[in-house]
A and B are shown apart, each in its own frame.
Chain A
Amino acid sequence: AQRVTQPEKLLSVFKGAPVELKCNYSYSGSPELFWYVQYSRQRLQLLLRHISRESIKGFTADLNKGETSFHLKKPFAQEEDSAMYYCALSRGTSYGKLTFGQGTILTVHP
């Protein structure tokens, strides 16, 4: 069975500091990985997905199959990045069927 682990429930950084949100997964096949974000009083929304190799709002994530990790990084955190972040894994024929991690609350202090 697939599993996603986000070891940090809370992460605090100061504005302008680098930030890394950790995500590890276990899955025997080839996973597709995503980061979802939920800002205060907003809906859960897709931030980025590994296959796109995109940078969204300055965030990037690299899939490391050797370490089974998909950490989310940003070189200079902003206060508006404060939110709940979920790492998620998908398999099978529907990429909307996701296994989510427990989430990390990121707080960026001024």
Chain B
Amino acid sequence: DTGVSQNPRHKITKRGQNVTFRCDPISEHNRLYWYRQTLGQGPEFLTYFQNEAQLEKSRLLSDRFSAERPKGSFSTLEIQRTEQGDSAMYLCASSLGETGLNEKLFFGSGTQLSVL
């Protein structure tokens, strides 16, 4: 499968623990996005990267959240001191970052986080 890959698929953790998710974008895609989706809602934008530079962060991204894309390839999303409200599906998407409206997102299958 040459699509966007996310690991793990599921993560169960206890409140207060730290968790880290990984996203491998489609090769040569220079833009990478993180979204969060809670039950019954559409995905919500969290942050995105152009190569290794993090260009924008949503206000939803509290200081407990940190995302990196150190070499402009894979990305990690870390949540420190998890809270029950962090339980959600975390989606990653990548694109070639074409200018204008040609940009097309390709989504991964997501990581389902459950905080007990």
Contact = CB atoms under 8 A, between A and B. Distances in A.
Chains A and B come from one and the same complex = yes
Interface stretch (B13-21, B75-83, B100-108): B100-108
B43 A46 contact: no
B2 interface: no
Contacts of B109: 43
Interface residues of B, number: 26
Interface residues of A, number: 22
Contacts, number: 54
A32 B56 contact: no
A81 B95 CA distance: 25
A66 interface: no
Nearest to B6: A43
Interface in B51-110: 55-56, 91, 93, 95, 97, 100-101, 103-109
Contacts of B105: 46, 96, 98
Contact of B42 (A32, A43, A49, A88): A88
Interface of A: 4, 9, 32, 43-46, 49, 51-52, 86, 88, 94-103
